[in-house]
Amino acid sequence: MSDPRIITLPPGGILLGLGSDLIDVDRVKGVVDRQGDRFLARVFTDEERAYCLGMKFPHKHLAARFAAKEAVAKAFTTGIGAELGWKSISVYHGSRHEPLVRLDEKGAALLRQVGGTHVLLTLSHTDTAAMAVAAVVRAV
């Protein structure tokens, strides 16, 4: 039996939008060092902050989630702004530790508006860079 939380684009599924982002880990670290909790609370959900700040090297994980938010916003073709806020997008982990996207009401409404059913996400990071690729899809 397949896990219903694991979404793949089946034959006939439709790719509606694709976005990617790459960011230097030191850039995120610098903003956190300068702005601290103000930046963290503005950009990341409680769940994301708890996960990242619990890691040995939190800035790598924060940078990956920042890149994910940018990639998702690009996949929607809206960017971050009036239609989609920073915390409209939350990254969490599935049962196999795969990155999953949780959208707030604003994000879910936008997903419905564009005809999508899911947002697929992949993340990667090194000590110096973090990247994400997101796809807005309609599974049929």
pLDDT bracket for residue 4 (50, 70, 90): low
Q: Is the pLDDT of residue 31 over 90?
A: yes
Quick one: DSSP state of residue 96? T
Q: Where are the chain's structural domains?
A: 14-138
Write down the pTM of the prediction. 0.90
pLDDT bracket for residue 13 (50, 70, 90): confident
pLDDT of residue 98: 92
10 Å CB burial of residue 65 (0-12, 13-18, 19+) is buried
3-state secondary structure of 54: coil
Q: Is the pLDDT of residue 49 over 70?
A: yes
Q: Give CATH superfamily name and number for 14-138.
A: 4'-phosphopantetheinyl transferase domain (3.90.470.20)
Q: What is the pLDDT of residues 67-116, one digit of tens each?
A: 999 999 999 999 999 899 999 999 999 989 999 999 999 999 999 999 99
Q: Alpha-carbon distance 126 to 136, whole Å?
A: 25
pLDDT of residue 1: 42
Q: Is the pLDDT of residue 12 over 80?
A: no
pLDDT bracket for residue 120 (50, 70, 90): very high
Please state, in angstroms and as integers, the Cα–Cα distance from residue 23 to each residue in 44, 84, 133, following that order: 16, 20, 12
